[in-house]
Amino acid sequence: MNVPNGYVIGLHGKWGSGKTTVVNFILEHIKKHQDEAKKVEHVDFRPWIVSGHQDLMAAFFKLLSEQLKPKEGKVRKLFKRGMHTTAQGTDSLVDAAVTLSVAIDPSGGVFSRLAGGFGKKALNAAASNYLKTPSLQKAYEDLRDLLSKSDRRFFVTIDDIDRLEDDEIRSIMQMVKTIGRLPNVIYLLVYDREIVWRALEEGTDRVGPRFAEKIVQQEVELPLPGKNVLLTMLDEEIKFLTADGENSARWQYIVRDGVHRWMNYPRDVLRFSNALKFVWPALEGEFDSQDLVAIEGIRLFDSTAFDWVRLNRDFLFNEGRYFMGADEERRAKVEALKESLLPTTVDVIMALLTVLFPSQGKWFQGDRYMISENYAASQARRGLASEAGYDAYFALHPSADAVPKSTIDAVFDKLDDEKAITSALRAYVGKDNRRGRAMIGLFLQDLRIRFAVHPKPEPSQQLLNALLSIGDEVLGLPWQGEMFTLEPSGTLRFLVRDLLEAWGEEEAGKHLIAAFEQSNSPFVLADLYFDRGRELGVFPSDDAGRRVISKEDFDKLGTVLMPKIQASANDGSLVNVPYLWDIARSWKHLGDPAAAKEWLRKGIEADGSFTAKVIKGMLTQSSSGGGIRYSFRKEPDEDLYDLGAVYENAKSHLSDANGLTDYEQALLKALVDGVDRIRAGQSPDRFGGDGDE
């Protein structure tokens, strides 16, 4: 290292391109190949921890002075003379050296102590000013001579210049210009060239690059790292997250439109991987890992789009004002988002949002939109397009309004463990989330979703048995009045059908017969029996659906069901079921209709709650702003019911309503009102229909 007049090197690179890493490599190289006889001493100046351009220069001189402490005795005398000379009127070097101890002080600290009496002057001059003072110019020349004659060599690094304010950048560059000719001193300035040039041009007539050329003798520009190198680095850092992920088309879109675009510098890899490492422990098992890569990348690199996703939950899940229609408002929302993005990123960000929210793709991509993933797949993954996934991500915690994904996974991990499945299901029976929705209904819906995606899990007898074991509680849940949401009872029926379809007709009947034989609930069995009978055309239905068991197996179900109904009627437990409509019809179909009618008559006469359970099957229900409304619309089967007797008993029970719930009273009143209106020649429903008042 032979630089008799000093040397200034500039290391240019964009933010995050690895400039500091290169500096560390250089220092390590110097350390490894150091010649002890001609040792290079490192001075590390970090200007961004100092505030103000005068303090900046002062701090640098102090740091340099701490490194430049020769032990020659004559140097003390030299600076004593310099101090006496400057004590009368010149304060620039005095301020720097005494007040902040920042002068280049070969005296090892004696200089600062001698100057203590007048070291309280404010720092108000830069290094270029004090060099104009003859005595200080002499001191500077003496220092140059001292460094030139000594064998000491210095490597000064000034990193992150582009992090400074513009006036501080100018101060640093002026300082280096002033003292950059000290012999045996090499300066390495680390910066983003565009930022530094812009700062040098501000408020002056000079051109930044030309001024910088007078300071920096050699500029080195970091080469751009290859995309493949960066992606390999990222893959190594986040393989804990992506190693087991499916290499699907949607993942390739996430990489193409997101990850590949975001990774430009090593720091991008570091920021991205650190963010994922921070978030994943809170969401592991509850949120889709590939969606996490996508949305965290959007958060870091496409922040405008991220804010839009965070603030537009109703839009994304068709809630609130977007529940129905609002097409023009939707278009306006998306157009506003597009206008806020850089033109070069609009298409790729819209494509990325379509991958994350496929059901909203027509708004993001218009005519170019093609559905890339069905609803069930995004729900099963617990991706951002699922409400549970969305809420979990933005809360960094599993959603309290959903059944944890880990609980759903546990069911499918133990499909042969009936006890474990039943326990998991019962934990959610009778619980509502914060939105008033039955958690067991959400649980059953999640199970249905798993059977709707590929690869489909194999159904098990144990799962079917567990579903029937909670049937009384689920099928008996009162309707909540949600017009566009499937009730838990309906979800349970569909899930049972899903299992039977998965087995196929030949095996499904055997499994259902086994479940019937194990179950002790004639209420649940009668409900499922009628469902299968409708599919086979045994019972009339407007929408029976495709059959899932054979007629032969259906008949076997009847031979299992009827004895259970009869036994329950005999021991008195049948009166405790949630409602009686399907039980009565099954009894009529499989046994003695007269016996069924007599059993019903006695119960109706004796108890208002029993009568309400009977009447429930005769009513329809609807919901409005005033709550749930029940209407009498269907004439009951005369083989089972005497409508006049039911009517009179309902009136009697209403007149003495002690012990009846509001729900039971509403059912009784609906039948009485309906019959009254029919007898008056009006529609049984006071709110509509032909002949209404």
pLDDT for the residue numbered 142: 73
Do 138 and 94 reside in the same domain of the chain?
yes
Residue 449 lies in a domain: no
pLDDT for the residue numbered 114: 35
Last residue of a domain, one of 177, 195, 221: 221
Do 142 and 57 reside in the same domain of the chain?
yes
Residues of the chain with pLDDT under 70: 1, 50-140, 143, 203-211, 371, 481-484, 625-626, 685-693
Looking at the structure of the chain, the number of domains it has is 3
Q: Where are the alpha helices (DSSP H) in 104-192?
A: 110-114, 127-130, 134-149, 166-179
Q: Where are the alpha helices (DSSP H) in 488-592?
A: 488-503, 505-518, 522-536, 551-571, 581-590
Last residue of a domain, one of 197, 221, 245: 221
Do 141 and 239 reside in the same domain of the chain?
no
Do 146 and 166 reside in the same domain of the chain?
yes
By DSSP bridging, strand 185-191 and strand 40-45 are unpaired
Residue 353 lies in a domain: yes
Yes or no: say if 508 and 548 are a contact pair by the CB < 8 Å rule: yes
Do 208 and 235 reside in the same domain of the chain?
no
pLDDT for the residue numbered 86: 40
Sequence letter at residue 87: A
Do 248 and 202 reside in the same domain of the chain?
no
Residue 387 lies in a domain: yes
Place of tokens 């390495």: 188
Distance CA 85, CA 80 (A): 9
Yes or no: say if 618 and 671 are a contact pair by the CB < 8 Å rule: yes
Residue 505 lies in a domain: no
Yes or no: say if 673 and 635 are a contact pair by the CB < 8 Å rule: no
Last residue of a domain, one of 333, 362, 395: 395
Over its C-alpha atoms, the chain yields an Rg (Å, rounded) of: 41
By DSSP bridging, strand 627-632 and strand 619-624 are antiparallel
Residue 405 lies in a domain: no
| CATH classification of the domain holding 35 | 3.40.50
Do 205 and 275 reside in the same domain of the chain?
no
Sequence letter at residue 334: V
Yes or no: say if 303 and 324 are a contact pair by the CB < 8 Å rule: no
Do 297 and 359 reside in the same domain of the chain?
yes
pLDDT for the residue numbered 72: 45
Residue 54 lies in a domain: yes
Three-state secondary-structure class, residue 154: strand
Yes or no: say if 513 and 655 are a contact pair by the CB < 8 Å rule: no
Do 158 and 265 reside in the same domain of the chain?
no
First-to-last C-alpha distance (Å) of the chain: 107
Dmax of the chain from CA atoms? 128
- Expressed as residue numbers, the domain containing 215 is 7-221
Do 195 and 297 reside in the same domain of the chain?
no
CA of residue 156 relative to chain centroid, distance = 45
> 10 Å Cβ neighbour count for 551?
14
Q: What's the chain's length in residues?
A: 693
Yes or no: say if 395 and 283 are a contact pair by the CB < 8 Å rule: no
Distance CA 389, CA 403 (A): 11
Q: What are phi and psi of 175, to 5 degrees?
A: -60, -45
